[in-house]
Structure 1
């Protein structure tokens, strides 16, 4: 049994409203155990009889995306991560925490895309953005209040990255890790 985290992309923004109770009910209907939603930003922690890094894990991701699309009527994309990896990635955050900066972790389901994003972000040479490559993630630090308009924010928001990436504030990730 694996404790999984489904990180949904694009819910409760841009007109896609998904209530936490409805989201949890959908996961229970799919047969998952110990379902818990964390905050209202599309984070579901659950148990499934699927091992990480297997064809079954890929099928699990697809099953969840299909169920979300059918139930809530939007193009659903998730990043599926074992909960133990969430905790490890949060504790590896490499930048100093500072009241003037926002700490984010950008999760990805495709390492090649994360490599491409990292290289593109480095090429921007943005003095506002700090970015580092981690295991299955990019760590990102930017000035508070600038999460949509720094050079890296604009890069991350490109449509070509939507189906394989999603970001979370470090404090949210820490809450997910302990859920």
Structure 2
């Protein structure tokens, strides 16, 4: 059995794509996933599965949600080691002191042609970012809600993404350790 972490994009936001976590746990148990646990309402799930590929799990989970709830959210699935590597590779260790300012965007694929000039133009002087394979780190000390860069990451990178603040991913890592 492998321990996996799934991040759902765009659920329980603004009254759209409502997905109660208790029901999601039941839905995932119907897929024979084991030890299913959720963390907060934004779609963070930890589970064990003998399935060996993230892509297969993501497709099965998204299809189950569509069957049960009528919408198909993007689902990003990582192994515990991949989440740990994401945290260890944090290029902004100073931002950990204020974890709500540090965001990690998990990307659906590695961007083929990221629009780096647009990223630079949208970035506030106080913001810092780094793109590393399928992860985009953003330190936004003035807040993520006011960041034009954060609002346009998918457009600039050309891939689907979901973001979590550092506190959330750190908590998830503690839950799987």
Q: Give the TM-score, by structure 2 length.
A: 0.84
**Residue 5 (structure 1) aligns with:** 5
Do the aligned partners of 2:99 and 2:165 also contact (CA within 8 Å) in 1? Answer: no
CA deviation string 1:52-102 (max 9, x = no partner)? 4xxxx3222111111112222223111111122112211321111254970
The corresponding residue for 2:83 is 86
Structure 1: distance between partners of 2:39 and 2:3: 14
* 1:106 aligned residue: 105
Verify the 8 A CA contact 1:130 1:141 in the aligned structure 2: yes
Distance in structure 1 (CA, Å) of the matches to 2:100 and 2:45: 27
Are residues 39 and 125 of structure 1, via their aligned partners in 2, closer, same or farther at CA, if it must alter by over 3 Å?
closer
How many residue pairs match? The answer is 172
Alignment of 1:64-143 (within 5 A): 64-95=61-92, 96-97=94-95, 98-99=97-98, 102-112=101-111, 116=114, 120-122=118-120, 124-143=122-141
- Given that 1:33 and 1:46 are in contact with CA atoms closer than 8 Å, whether structure 2 keeps it comes out as yes
Indicate yes or no: 2:163 matched with 1:167.
yes
> What TM-score, normalized to structure 1?
0.83
* Separation (CA, whole Å) in 2 of partners of 1:123 and 1:176: 33
Look up the match of 2:24: 23
Q: Structure 2: how far apart are the matches of 1:178 and 1:100? A: 15
Aligned equivalents of 1:116, 1:93: Cα separation in 2:
20
- SS of the residue corresponding to residue 178 of structure 1 reads helix
Runs (5+) with no aligned partner, structure 1: none
Deviation at 1:149, TM superposition (A): 2.9
Q: Which runs of 5+ in 2 are unaligned?
A: none
* Shift in alpha-carbon separation, 1:165–1:134, aligned structure 2, 3 A: same
